[in-house]
Amino acid sequence: MALLSPRREVGEFKKRYKWMALAVLATFFLFVGRAVELQVVEYAKWARNADDNVTRTLHLPATRGVVRDTASRVIADNRSSYRVFITPQMVDPQKGVRRIAELMELTDDEQETLRQKIAKVPESRRSHQIEMFSDITRDQVAALETHALELPGVDVIATPVRTYPYGALGAHAVGYVNEVSADDIKAKGNTYHAGDRIGRTGLEKAWEPYLRGTDGIHRVFVDARGRRQDRPEVDPDAHEMHRDPVPGHDVTLSLDMELMRAVETAFRGQPSGSAVVVETRTGRVRALYSKPAYDPNEMSGRLSADGFKALSDNAFRPLIDKTMFETYFPGSTFKVVTALAALQEGLVNPADRIDCPGYYEIGNRRFRCSHMHGEVDMHKAIVQSCNVYFWKIAEKVGIDKINEYARELGFGEPSGIGVNSEAAGFLASRKWYEENYGSRFLVGYTLNTAIGQGNTRVTLLQLALAYAALGNGGQLFVPELVERVSGPDGAVVQEFEPRVRRKLTIAPEHLQYVRDSLVGVVNDPSGTAFEARIEGGVRVAGKTGTAQVSYRRPKPGEDPRKSEYFNRDHAWFAGLAPADNPEIAFVVLVEHGGGGGKYAAPVAMQIVEQYLGGRAAPNTQGAVLSRTQEP
Amino acid sequence: MALVRDARDQFDWTLFVTVAALSVIGVVNLYSATSVEGGTRSDIYIQQIYWLTLGAGVAVLVAAIDYRHYERLGWVAYGGGLVLLVLVFLLGRGIRGSTRWISIGGSSLQPSELMKIGLIIALAKYLHHDPKTGGRTLKDLIVPGLIAAVPMGLVLLQPDLGTAVMLAFIFASIMVLTQLKARSLLALVVLFAVSAPITWEYLLHDYQRDRILTFMDPHADLLDTGWHSHQSLVAIGSGGFWGKGFMQGSQSQHRFLPDQHTDFPFSVWAEEQGLAGVLLLLSLYFFLILWGIKIASQAKDRFGAVVAVGVSAMIFWHTTVNIGMVTGMLPVVGVTLPLFSYGGSSVLATMMGIGLLMNVSMRRFHY
């Protein structure tokens, strides 16, 4: 048997053995390094991953606080709704999804959408429950519950859903909630979880921390197939296993939903406008009405993209809060400010008469008045809204003095109501005009400012608060929307007292003078709002206003009626009632309504009648006068 | 008597102890890895003990007969392996879209595992008789290349990419031991660059492509292919320094690891024994491989040297590819971890290899 003969060249590979051994050693250290990386350096990350694998955290949503009006009528509440949560890692993208679709009777498209939605869930959250459907029908609930055993990773959970019994009424003030986005969660430092609802606008947003409550949690141990396990390898002490949810606080508003209904009724026939009612002696806001509005029930649920586009494209701007976010030229309602500035500065004797020929000439420019008023004193000028009178005294007072008193009355800065984005409005000073309108300041700017045009912009809320100060003898209040906050058990946690923002420097007798003139606007047969007075009802004081709008060029092919409408003036009426001892200050704006006396004042009167009807002294004086007037 | 005394004196205790340690640890780990499965799988560790016992017997047999006899029978071993590979197509049964096993009695055999030993012996025989000692050109690679290519082709047809790659790596390792000219090496690199896209396009199955793609971006599709890799990292990483303790791995005990008794036993070990256990295990494996190279370097002839290097390469590549895979450094391919993974054929092939190492080691004192 010829076995192998030894060869001389067995040493031929010597050098290469060394290289091989080196390569093997290098691999060994590579693996050691990798093991150290995984098990020491990245230990925390993987340990968390492992815990996530075997624990499933169920979020027990807290019941959101209820919002009520001043008479405890429910404005925002919760009802039960069934939501479907899916744990992506436990659901087969083909078979599982098909089964879910069968049970829920989804269309093929819906099924595909669900499949993609599950596929898109990021790695880190695949072992979490993710909301896939909300507000499913009773039949769907029944089908899924019956087949729960064959669908691990699919959970039907009853959760409270926000409902707004008043629908669109008060929507801008109350706001709405909807599901948090990934960005929200990041912005809020992970205090929210996917599927949570968050207040988006209005009170729901501003009072989110109170309303929200604290979610509870319930953790269970599961294996890779989602089956619950009794013997956890995870230290239960290291994880909180159960925490009950804590319901949110209830919030009681100063709004009066009956009054809001009345406002709504009064606005019937007007496509677009806004109204604010505040209590003169407390600054409590009784009505915040912006028309048109959206239904917060829809916004809180699943508003389709088309639905949202329809809202944002709507020419009447239903998404805009016209009570405090939008600003307007105050028009003649602002003459009150000019009058008070003139009186307080002692520059004008209110009894002095000025002749109104129907126009006012400065240089070669002619400013038109509504008509020829003849000889007017301040009272008559307010009652009949004579521009010439105010132009003349404005020249004496000057633009900056007018603005100074406007600012004192709360214009030009946010009122501090604390909900929504509140506009500051704008008061254009002499300096501003010089900087923005060429170097030379023109007297015309002052004249425009005196009658609430030019560049003076206000919100309805500011105007209402200024009139309230006029009505209460000089206290400018911080508007109060929330009266109190109470805990889930009903106990009052916090009660909000009226807050005075400032005591006006204007002497009470001047305020009284202007207020008396406002009574004339409604109750004097020559007054601009005389036609709108409440006969035999509440006596009202107020001021009409007609604010010019910037010219809107008609779009090609547009209905000429539409162009005509949007170029019509805004109609204002701001006032106090009852006139002799005002309880409320109110402002009504009918967008593109036309003349304030004709279009805004009747709306305001309806609101006042609804609110004070029967309670206040009858308007005998106005009634008598009106009877003598009518044929 | 002389033979027994010789055997006792020349017996490679280092090799024996290392292999025995790995086997015992492997069985213990399998016990933990399969305990939760219950029913059919709970006795897997028992079966592994049977296989190891059988394997040990085979190893003793392989070691006992002077390896120079194997040189004579080299082509027989090689041809036998090929016949078994062909039989797979005739008698084989498929698991998960791949036909790799043939049934013998009550158990199944995976011929491709045994083929590795056949290939090593065949290459050793060829090189032993190849008088060339200087640098090899591409032409010199043709015959050994064909020797490797035939079984590789058959294995790829099954299809079993993992084993085919193993055969290729073993072949390459042996060829590196003999000298290659720089020019030849360059040519091989070019050949690889050309053939890779063709392989990708025509030879790889969808699931194999998926695995490689998953390796490139493990987070792309966690639910399907990347899931295995990710869960393995979770298990290993969460083991920490000291591990979670025997039978205490939350990932392995709750079946988050796929195929944990065949492809992922290392992850089970790493989770339950931590970095400490991993260092021990890696040390054992790589010591075994280095020891194999040492045995090769002391071999008295070229055949023994090539056999020892081939077996070391087999263990090295299996270990490296498997651990590389479960630690997320390489794509997921079904390559077993020697003595750790459950599987009769794998154990038998490994034990035959160990027997060959022992053989070469013991006969270094001859002549």
Tell whether omega for the bond before A6 is within 30 degrees of 0, i.e. cis: no
Alpha helices in B38-110 (DSSP H): 44-64, 67-72, 74-91
Using CB atoms, which residue from A13, A34, A54 is nearest to B327?
A34
- The two three-digit tokens of residue B196, written as one number: 């890779």
Across the interface, of A47, A126, A223, the residue whose CB is closest to B238 is: A47
Please say whether the beta carbons of A542 and A522 come within 8 A: yes
Q: What pLDDT band is residue B124 in, cutting at 50, 70 and 90?
A: very high
d(CA B9, CA A629): 138
Q: Least CA distance to A11: which residue of chain B?
A: B297
Calculate how close chain A gets to B180, using CA atoms only, in Å. Answer: 11
Residue B146, min C-alpha distance to chain A (Å): 23
Backbone angles phi, psi at B246, to 5 degrees: -55, 130
Shortest CA distance to A458 belongs to which of A329, A616, A585, A310? A329
Residues of A in contact with B251 (CB under 8 A): 50, 53-54
Q: From residue A169, how far is each of A260, A262, B356 by CA, in Å?
A: 7, 11, 90
Rg of chain A taking only CA atoms, in angstroms: 35
Decide if B301 and A6 are in contact by the 8 Å CB cutoff.
yes
State whether residue B316 sits within 8 Å of chain A by CB: yes
Higher pLDDT, A21 or A128: A21
Measure A125 CA to nearest chain B CA, in Å: 11
Residue of A nearest to B310 (CA): A20
Could you tell me which chain A residue has the CA closest to the CA of B304?
Answer: A10
Q: What percent of chain A has pLDDT over 90?
A: 50
Question: What tens digit of pLDDT does each residue of A488-547 get?
Answer: 888 999 999 999 999 999 999 999 999 999 999 999 999 999 988 888 788 999 999 998
Of residues B352 and B106, more confidence is placed in B352
**pLDDT tens digits, one per residue of A381-429:** 999 999 999 999 999 999 999 999 999 999 999 999 988 789 999 999 9
Sequence-ordered list of residues with C-beta below 8 angstroms from that of A451, at least 6 positions apart, any chain: A331, A332, A334, A335, A338, A387, A390, A391
* Cβ neighbours of A229 in B, within 8 Å: 254
- Best probe of the A interface among B256, B316, B322, by most A CBs < 10 A, is B256
Which chain A residues contact residue B248 at CB under 8 A?
233
Over residues A6-14, mean pLDDT = 58
Question: Is B33 a residue whose pLDDT tops 90?
Answer: no
Q: Is the pLDDT of residue A620 over 50?
A: no
The shortest CB-CB distance from A38 to any of B236, B254, B299 is to: B236
Give me chain A's average pLDDT, please: 86
CB A156 within 8 A of CB A83: yes
Question: Residue A13 and residue B305: Cβ atoms within 8 Å?
Answer: yes
Q: Confidence class of residue B158 from pLDDT cuts 50, 70 and 90?
A: confident
The per-residue pLDDT for range A554-588, each reduced to its tens digit, is 888 888 888 888 889 999 999 998 999 999 999 99
A378, pLDDT greater than 50: yes
* Sheet arrangement for strand A570-577: A285-291, A273-279, A584-590, A570-577, A541-547
Which candidate from B176, B237, B301 shows the least CB-CB separation from A46? B237
- Rounded Cα gap, residues A464 and B222, in angstroms: 60
Out of A179-183, A448-452, B63-67, which region has the weakest mean confidence (pLDDT)? A179-183
The answer to whether B290 contacts A32, with C-beta atoms less than 8 Å apart, is no
- To which residue do tokens 């206000």 refer? A458
What is the rounded average pLDDT of the residues A596-613? 88
* B300/A21 touch (CB, cutoff 8 Å), yes or no: no
Is the pLDDT at B118 greater than 90? The verdict is yes
How many Å separate Cα B157 from the centre of its chain?
A: 19
> What number is the ipTM of this complex?
0.90
Which helix (H) or strand (E) element contains residue A471?
Answer: helix A460-472
**What are B214-240's pLDDT values in tens digits?**
655 555 444 455 677 888 898 899 999
Residues of B with Cβ-Cβ distance to A10 under 8 angstroms:
299-302, 305
Q: For B68-106, how does the pLDDT look when each residue is reduced to its tens digit (9 = 90+)?
A: 889 888 899 899 999 988 888 887 666 656 667 777 666
Cross-chain Cβ contact B234/A50 below 8 Å: yes
pLDDT at A305 exceeding the cut of 50 = yes
- Judged by average pLDDT, the poorest of A230-244, A367-381, B33-47, B290-304 is A230-244
Minimum distance, in Å, between the CA of residue B174 and any CA atom of chain A: 11
**A53/B234 CB distance under 8 A:** yes
DSSP code, position A609 = H
CA distance A239 to chain B (A): 15
Tell me which residues of chain B, numbers 325 to 354, contact chain A at a CB-CB cutoff of 8 Å. 327, 329
Q: Which of A20, A38, A224 sits opposite B237 (nearest CB)?
A: A38
pTM of the model: 0.62
For residue range A45-103, what is the model confidence (pLDDT) as tens digits?
A: 988 888 777 777 777 888 899 999 999 999 999 988 888 888 888 888 888 899 899 99
Locate B224 and state its tokens: 């399907």
- Residue A585: enclosing H or E segment and its boundaries? strand A584-590
pLDDT reported for residue B175 = 85
- Grade residue A276 by pLDDT with cuts at 50, 70 and 90: very high
Region of poorest pLDDT, from A124-128, A141-145, A311-315, A387-391 = A124-128
Instruction: Determine the average pLDDT of the residues in B133-140.
Output: 73
Q: Element (H or E) spanning A157, and its range?
A: strand A154-163
B236 contacts on A by Cβ (under 8 Å): 35, 38-39, 46
Nearest CA in chain B to A233: B250
- The pLDDT of residue B341 is 92
Predicted confidence at residue B366, as pLDDT, reads: 63
Q: What is the pLDDT of residue A629?
A: 35
Closest CA to A450 of A390, A382, A511, A362: A390
Q: Which of A392, A203, A181, A174 is nearest to A289 (CA)?
A: A174
Which residue among B296, B301, B320 sits closest to A4, beta carbon to beta carbon?
B301
CB proximity B290 to A under 8 Å: yes
Q: End-to-end CA distance of chain B, in Å?
A: 19
- Considering only CB atoms, which chain A residues are within 8 Å of B324? 31
Q: Do B128 and A4 touch (CB under 8 A)?
A: yes
Q: Look at phi and psi of residue A474 and say left if phi exceeds 0, alpha if psi is from -120 to 50, else beta.
A: left
Could you give the CA distance from residue A138 to residue A156 in angstroms, rounded to a whole number? 11
Mean pLDDT over A163-172 rounds to: 93
Chain B residues near residue A21 by CB distance under 8 angstroms: 290, 293
Q: Residue A618 — very low, low, confident or very high, per pLDDT cuts 50/70/90? A: very low
**Angle value at C-alpha A330, between A324 and A336, nearest 5 degrees:** 115
B131-142 burial: b if 16+ Cβ within 10 Å, else e:
eeeeebebebbe
A595 token code pair:
């003349």
Tell whether B183 is within 8 A of chain A (Cβ): no
Question: How large is the average pLDDT for residues A614-618?
Answer: 49
pLDDT in tens, A208-254: 999 998 888 877 776 655 566 665 455 555 566 788 889 999 999 99
- Nearest-angstrom CA–CA distance, B236 and B223: 19
Q: Do B68 and A3 lie within an 8 Å CB cutoff?
A: yes
Query: Which positions in chain A touch B256 (Cβ < 8 Å)?
Result: 53-54, 223-224
